[in-house]
Amino acid sequence: MSEKSSLVSLHQEVDQGTLCRIKARLAHIMQLWSAGKPFFPRALLEDLNRQIDAGQDEVYITDLDDVRQKYSLTVPKWCADFANTYRINYSSIQHLGHLTPIYPELALRNDHTPVSIVYARSMPSPGQCTLEQVQARFTHTRTLWLGSSTRRDLERIVSTLPLSAPITKIVCFALGSLAPLDDSDSEGSISTSLSNSILDTSSTSTLNASPVRCTFTRHVTRAHAQHAAVETMLTALRSRGMLAPGAQCIAQDPAYDAVDCAFLSSIGIRVVDDPKGFLEVDATTLVLSVSPNVPVKQILADVQWPAAMVWNTVALVEKESEGWVKNVEENGEVQWSSPFTTDPDCARVRDMIKGYARATLDDGNDFFGDITVYMK
């Protein structure tokens, strides 16, 4: 991000002394990053997981300066009017280390750190699909998936890329809820989901059997197809003798509700809460992650390099950021657009994938978007 482009607005809103402290803090963060300090160490997530499992009202998370910061798992009174639950927040190096025109002074807070606790509203959805409706929709979408060119290409890649050891588990991130009944019903689930594939409307879907005509239908169809892809990968790995006996399938997404969990269990996928999905990843895991709202690639670059990844294509060369874009609405309200994605690449991710064979998925049916398969 261009620091100069942001300073134009910051000079008007932040005093010089505060701006200097903000820039010093960001420089300190970038220095720690450049020195190789892990931002998402496995031990930190293991410790946080133990505290959550213990049922404590408060947890302690170590920040970048190795100071234990205290967070409440009970929604504080100051935000109880808009929040009813907590979420684990993961911040990328792009978010942590760059100047932002939106409340830049937040960089001075103790929770401006890779892992923290935030508060959100989890909206109940009385119109969610029943288990039977989800089963019917999945059966229909699975038929589309099995007949698609995308399925054939994924099966070809998983069957042929070099792989040194059998896969013992497939861990999925951000595949989205399977249960929304209609567009109005889906809003609450999508707002708290790791998956942001619904936001990618840059291309027109070309499903072989049934074209997707609206964003909502496309989102739900994608979610069902991505879950169906797990079966395809299991079959391909088993056929080449690279699926370990008793291999598990695990999924993590805060958008899942009770219906999702029941259905996924029925097809052999076990749902886990954050951060357990990250802790399930080991050296014999295949990770499936599609346009998550958290930096999955950066997290796993620190936590564990998997045996294989099926996720958004990693750019081999860092792209020059165009900076924040300021948009002024007709009513005068200012909106800023971030130059960073929610699951951005970084030097650590690029270093990680150097040891992997790779092949980009030909997703002619637009079930995934820009996805590459990595195996070693």
- pLDDT tens readout for residues 59-106: 999 999 999 999 999 999 999 999 999 999 999 999 999 998 888 999
pLDDT in tens, 259-311: 999 999 999 999 999 999 999 999 999 999 999 999 999 999 999 999 999 99
Does residue 144 share a domain with residue 116?
Answer: no
264 and 320 together in one domain = yes
Does residue 141 share a domain with residue 103? no
Q: What is the mean pLDDT of the chain?
A: 88
CA quadruple 352, 358, 363, 364: dihedral, nearest 10: 150
Is 139 domain-assigned?
A: yes
Three-class DSSP labels, 172-226: EECCCCCCCCCHHHHHHHHHCCCECHHHCCCCCCCCCCCCCCCHHHHHHHHHHHH
Residues 116 and 205 in one domain: no
Q: How far is CA 87 from CA 141, 192, 295, 325, in A?
A: 31, 9, 15, 28
The per-residue pLDDT for 124 is 60
Task: Examine the pLDDT at 363 and tell me if it is beyond 60.
Answer: yes
Q: What CA–CA distance (Å, rounded) separates 234 from 239?
A: 9
> How open is the CA angle 314-370-183, to the nearest 5 degrees?
130
Other CB atoms within 10 A of residue 36 CB: 7
Residues 178 and 294 in one domain: yes
Q: How far apart are CA 289 and CA 349, in angstroms?
A: 14
64, 89, 120: which is the final residue of a domain? 120
Peptide bond into 275 cis (omega under 30): yes
- Residue 115's Cβ-count burial label (10 Å; 0-12, 13-18, 19+) is buried
**Cα(151)–Cα(365) distance, integer angstroms:** 9
Q: Which two tokens stand for residue 312?
A: 């958004």
Q: What is the mean pLDDT of residues 341-360?
A: 97
Q: Which residue has the tokens 């059997």?
A: 209
Encode pLDDT of 6-51 as tens digits. Answer: 343 444 578 899 999 999 999 999 999 999 999 999 999 999 999 9
Using 50, 70 and 90 to split pLDDT, how confident is the model at 125?
A: low
Contact 343, 349 (CB under 8 A): no
State whether 227 and 281 are in the same domain.
yes
Residues 97-117, mean pLDDT to the nearest whole number: 94
Residue 126 belongs to a domain:
no
Q: What is the pLDDT of residues 212-256, one digit of tens each?
A: 334 767 889 999 999 999 999 999 999 999 999 999 999 999 999
CA–CA separation, 190 vs 291, rounded Å?
13
In angstroms, rounded to a whole number, what is the distance separating the alpha carbons of residues 336 and 354? 35
Among 60, 93, 120, the domain boundary falls at: 120
Assess whether 266 and 142 both reside in one domain: yes
Residue 222, classified by CB atoms within 10 Å of its CB into exposed (0-12), middle (13-18) or buried (19+), is: buried
pLDDT for 132-156, tens place per residue? 999 999 999 999 999 999 999 999 9
The better pLDDT of the pair 198, 164 is held by 164
- pTM for the model: 0.87
pLDDT number for residue 42: 99
Examine residue 276 and state whether it is found in any structural domain, yes or no: yes
User: Quick one: pLDDT at residue 127?
Assistant: 59
- Say if residue 99 is in the same domain as residue 163: no
Paired strand residues for 72: 58
Q: Which of 77, 99, 120 represents a domain boundary (last residue)? A: 120
- For CA atoms 89, 93, 99, 101, the dihedral sign is negative
Short-list 322, 319, 320, 358, CA closest to 337: 322
Give me the pLDDT at residue 200, please: 33
Per DSSP bridges, beta strands 243-252 and 270-271 are parallel
- Look at residues 237, 255, 254 and name the one whose alpha carbon lies nearest to residue 245: 237
pLDDT band at 186 (very low <50, low <70, confident <90, very high): very low
Contact 297, 348 (CB under 8 A): no
Question: Domain containing 137: what range?
Answer: 131-375
Burial class (CB in 10 A: 0-12, 13-18, 19+), 64: middle
**162 falls within a domain:** yes
To which H or E segment does residue 227 belong?
A: helix 215-239
Of the ranges 47-56, 110-119, 193-202, 332-341, which one carries the lowest mean pLDDT score? 193-202
Question: Is the pLDDT higher at 185 or at 310?
Answer: 310
CA distance 369 to 24: 38
Q: Are residues 91 and 151 in the same domain?
A: no
Per-residue pLDDT, 213: 39
- Residue 369 and residue 236 share a domain: yes
125 belongs to a structural domain = no
Residue 266: Cβ within 10 Å count: 12
Q: Does residue 199 surpass a pLDDT of 60?
A: no
Query: Which pLDDT does position 336 carry in this prediction?
Result: 86
Are both 116 and 143 inside the same structural domain? no
Number of domains in the chain: 2
